[in-house]
Amino acid sequence: MSNRENIIDKILRILGNNWKAVLLIPILVFLWNFKDRLLGTEKLKTLSSDGATISDEVAQNIASALFSAMADIGTDEDLIFSSLRGLSKADFAKVYNAFGLKCYEPTTGQFDPLGVIGFDMDLVAWLTSELSASELERLKRELPFVFSD
Ligand SMILES: [Ca+2]
């Protein structure tokens, strides 16, 4: 038996002896990702939008634009900044509430529509993940309330 066959044989024997453990790993990952939903402990806070000057529909449209700017691989920074431009703190709160929680897959920076390998994140967490350090500095300058509670 060649060295390579020997190694493959060993791996197969280890997997064969531990097939239950191997099977358990994807089940554990699946449960870990669904635990918040199963336990009903989603972390979305509702921000006060008292005094907002934009309608629910406009807030929803801005939230959708922000989502489309971030949901794929890469980031449309221009769309993010143009969507947020001119919003007051209360307006941003309305957009934040409209965005809600969406499942983010951090290794590729994409929306995870099945919610299996990603994490439910709010708008601020999405922005923090998608923007570079210098872009976040710009966001803090233009809309300082984004990162305040
Ligand atoms: Ca992205």
In whole numbers, what is the pLDDT of the chain averaged over residues? 88
Residues 105, 70 contacting (CB under 8 angstroms) = no
Same domain, 96 and 28: no
Instruction: Give me 83's structure tokens.
Output: 């969507």
Same domain, 74 and 143: yes
Query: 119 C-alpha to center of ligand 1: Å?
Result: 14
Q: Which residues 6+ apart lie within 8 Å of 133 measured at CB?
A: none
Overall average pLDDT of the 112-118 stretch: 85
The answer to whether position 40 is within a domain reads no
The answer to whether position 108 is within a domain reads yes
pLDDT at 96 exceeding the cut of 60: yes
The answer to whether position 42 is within a domain reads no
Query: 56 C-alpha to center of ligand 1: Å?
Result: 25
Same domain, 64 and 27: no
Q: How confident is the model at residue 90 (pLDDT cuts 50, 70, 90)?
A: very high
Overall average pLDDT of the 109-121 stretch: 88
Q: What is the pLDDT of residues 25-80, one digit of tens each?
A: 878 877 776 666 655 555 678 899 999 999 999 999 999 999 999 999 999 999 99
**Which of these ranges, 8-17, 22-31, 94-103, has the smallest mean pLDDT?**
22-31
Instruction: Give me 41's structure tokens.
Output: 């402990």
3-state helix, strand, coil in the chain (%, to 5): 60, 5, 30
Domain count within the chain: 2
Q: What is the distance between the alpha carbons of residues 102 and 123, in angstroms, rounded to a whole number?
A: 8
H or E element in which residue 92 lies:
helix 89-99
Query: 149 C-alpha to center of ligand 1: Å?
Result: 24
Q: Which residues 6+ apart lie within 8 Å of 128 measured at CB?
A: 136
Residue at token pair 């097939």? 19
Same domain, 18 and 67: no
Q: Specify the 3-state DSSP secondary structure of 149.
A: coil
Range of the domain at 130: 56-147
Query: 109 C-alpha to center of ligand 1: Å?
Result: 4
- Of 45 and 83, the one with more pLDDT: 83
Instruction: Give me 63's structure tokens.
Output: 């939230």
| Per-residue model confidence (pLDDT) at position 39 | 59
Query: 129 C-alpha to center of ligand 1: Å?
Result: 8
Query: 105 C-alpha to center of ligand 1: Å?
Result: 9
Query: 111 C-alpha to center of ligand 1: Å?
Result: 7
Same domain, 83 and 143: yes
Same domain, 17 and 82: no
The answer to whether position 47 is within a domain reads no
Q: How confident is the model at residue 17 (pLDDT cuts 50, 70, 90)?
A: confident
Q: Which residues surround ligand 1, an ion (CB under 5 A)?
A: 70, 109
The answer to whether position 79 is within a domain reads yes
Query: 66 C-alpha to center of ligand 1: Å?
Result: 11
Same domain, 76 and 122: yes
Angle at 20 between CA 17 and CA 25, to 5 degrees: 120
| Per-residue model confidence (pLDDT) at position 1 | 60
**Tell me, what CATH number does 136's domain have?**
1.10.220.10
Question: Could you tell me which residues are beta bridge partners of residue 120?
Answer: 103
The answer to whether position 46 is within a domain reads no
Query: 30 C-alpha to center of ligand 1: Å?
Result: 22
H or E element in which residue 120 lies:
strand 119-121
Residue at token pair 């009903």? 40
